[in-house]
Amino acid sequence: MDIKEMINLLAPSVFGLLGVVVGGVVAYFGNYKVKKLELEHQIKREELNEKRKLYGEFVKEVNIAGLKSIASTEDWNKDLEKVNSLVAQIEITSSKEVYKLALQVTNAVNNLYAAAPNPSARSLKDARASFINAVKCTSSDLI
């Protein structure tokens, strides 16, 4: 057996092996990119769920505080404390627009508890509706 015959016999095997190696490397990096994108999407989804929980808790506490303002209660400062702590969390985790609207909602709640409410202040209903619309728009942008 001479060298040409040997090359003719080994060449397809070498190229086949090389093809397997190149294919494996390409598959590995392709799989890596797909998994990385899946992880990033999962992280965004979890952040969105956390924000939704925060916004839902904020709206719940605002509604409770608004209803309790009708019946003057002794623990009004606790109700406002809950609302204000949620606003602080919104400030840290949300956009400036959402935070400003949360402040407007908080100001509307504070106006309900004021000894002399400002008649020209924005109503709680309007402020809450604006906040919810902004949150919906922000949430749909993240999906």
Confidence of residue 38 (pLDDT cuts 50, 70, 90): very high
Indicate if the pLDDT at residue 123 is higher than 90. no
Cα→Cα distances 14→4, 22, 111, 130, Å: 15, 12, 81, 68
Q: Is the pLDDT of residue 68 over 80?
A: yes
Using 50, 70 and 90 to split pLDDT, how confident is the model at 73? low
- Indicate the range of 31-35, 75-79, 81-85, 128-132 predicted with least confidence: 75-79
The predicted pLDDT at position 43 comes to 94
CA dihedral sign, ordered 16, 18, 19, 20: positive
Angle at 71 between CA 107 and CA 100, to 5 degrees: 15
* Residues 120 and 108 sit within 8 Å (Cβ to Cβ): no
Question: With bands split at pLDDT 50, 70 and 90, how would you rate the model's confidence at 137?
Answer: confident
The per-residue pLDDT for 60 is: 93
